[in-house]
Amino acid sequence: MAQPTVRVRLGFTPDTFTLDDLVRGVLDTGQLGGATTLTDVTNDVQNIAISRGRSKDLDSFFTGSCAIKLLNNARKYENTNTASPYYPGIEPFIIMHVDATTDGGSNYEDLFVGFVADISINYPDSNNSFATFTGFDAFMKINNTELINQSFSSTNSGNLINEVLNNSSVKFSTSNRDIETGISTMQAISGLTENTLSLLQRIEQSENGLLFMSKSGKLTFKNRHTTFPSSASKVFSDDGSNIAYVSVDYITDDNEIFNIVNLTRTGGSTQTQVDVGSQLKYLIRTLTRTSLLNNNDTEVNSAAQFLLGKFKDALLRFDNLEVNVNDLSTGNQNLVLASEVGDIVSIELSPPGSGNPSQIASLEILDSISYNITPDTFKVGYKLSSANQQAFLRLNNGLFGILDTDKLGY
């Protein structure tokens, strides 16, 4: 099949008037600021590497990254070249936007939206030059802000995230948010001094929700009651049906077995939940979280039961799924391009040799998504965790509404 058409754009701002800037602060020479114009640099792209997500279920999501290697033989991407059409806008913190289409440009699917942090020029020989623009999503900006001696009223976790983002030290745009109302109530906070991203991730842990930057550049928060779909968003198979994949690992390990859970909120007492049966099988494995922001110990105790139920047993799981997008039909290419961290997918594996069952199938959560793209290749990698760990009873849900099978949440 034809490879999806990838588009790479950078937000060079060579003419935007900027106060106190020696180049762009000269009166009668610059344009007044406004929406950033994105410049298409796709024709010079040699390689794109994108990584977004988290390492495993219990981890917070990391800052997404994108590295774009561009041919620079015309010296367009040198920030010291005053003859460049982009001078002097070749600088850190300009916007980078990568998307792709399978229909010739009528519809594009975002792959990464972020900001350039580093520009490096490489000269491998006397005839060639390459410029690599390395960028990160907006977690980078949030991580560079700090709350100093700030106070917040008691409210639900989603509202508290919005209040933190509205703070004068942060000022994160409301148009770049997708924040759900939280289930858990957070306690009042006074006199807080803390890194902003660190605080947001404490709220995420206190809720047992998900906090990440979406592929479209929106700060996204999902509470723990977010309804799982009644069917997987997509199915990956090795039997010629659904979305074909190149390889996958089938793993049983002890990376996420915990049979003692100790949770402590700020100003509260430690809440401990233990599973002796799990200890007899797997020895003692302790999960500890402190400085949670919940407003009462009763809920923290419920959270400890919730986490113990998820992690007391070893689970078979798939991981390291690799897909060659060029091998897929247009419809399946669109499904892959639409993938987002947190999606539930089904993985089907038909092992060689005889055995029962002849095919292994499992529901998995997309923990991370990576892309490696050149003019001739388009490969996607997924890190996965078992959706069965999330299998808490949800009424009227085809995946997680089975009586006597699924566990109770809180």
Q: Is the pTM of this model over 0.85?
A: yes
Nearest to 263 by CA among 341, 339, 202: 202
What's the rounded mean pLDDT across residues 384-404? 61
What's the rounded mean pLDDT across residues 56-64? 94
What's the pLDDT score for residue 228? 57
- Assigned fold of 5-137: Thrombin, subunit H (2.40.10)
Structure tokens at 100: 């792709």
What's the pLDDT score for residue 394? 52
What's the pLDDT score for residue 387? 83
Report the mean per-residue pLDDT for the chain. Answer: 90
Determine the CATH number of domain 141-222.
3.55.50
Helix (H, G, I), strand (E, B) or coil at 185: strand
Structure tokens at 205: 């842990």
What's the pLDDT score for residue 322? 98
Nearest to 284 by CA among 316, 242, 312: 312
pLDDT at 406 over 70: no
Among 311-320, 360-369, 397-406, name the one with the lowest average pLDDT.
397-406
What's the rounded mean pLDDT across residues 105-126? 96
**How many degrees, rounded to 5, is the angle at CA 363 between CA 357 and CA 369?**
125
Provide the b/e sequence for 3-16 (b: ≥16 CB within 10 Å). Answer: bbebbbbbbbbbeb
What's the rounded mean pLDDT across residues 106-116? 97
Amino acid identity for residue 190 in this structure? S
Residue indicated by tokens 């590497």:
49
**Beta strand pairing status for 286-292 and 243-244?**
unpaired
CA–CA dist 90, 121 (Å, integer): 12
What's the rounded mean pLDDT across residues 224-251? 87
pLDDT in tens, 305-342: 989 988 999 888 899 999 999 999 999 999 999 999 99
- Cα separations (Å) of 90 from 73, 138, 179, 330, 348? 16, 19, 33, 36, 46
Structure tokens at 225: 């009651």
What's the pLDDT score for residue 259? 97
pLDDT at 137 over 80: yes
pLDDT in tens, 178-229: 999 999 999 999 999 999 999 999 999 999 999 999 999 999 999 988 755 5
CB atoms within 10 A of CB 405: 10
pLDDT at 26 over 50: no
Q: How far apart are the first and last CA of the chain?
A: 46
Provide, rounded to the nearest whole percent, the portion of the chain with pLDDT above 90: 79
DSSP 174: G
What lies within 8 Å, CB to CB, of 82 at 6+ separation is 88
- Cα separations (Å) of 196 from 166, 169, 179, 203? 11, 9, 16, 11
Helix (H, G, I), strand (E, B) or coil at 150: strand
- Cα separations (Å) of 4 from 240, 287, 325? 21, 43, 8
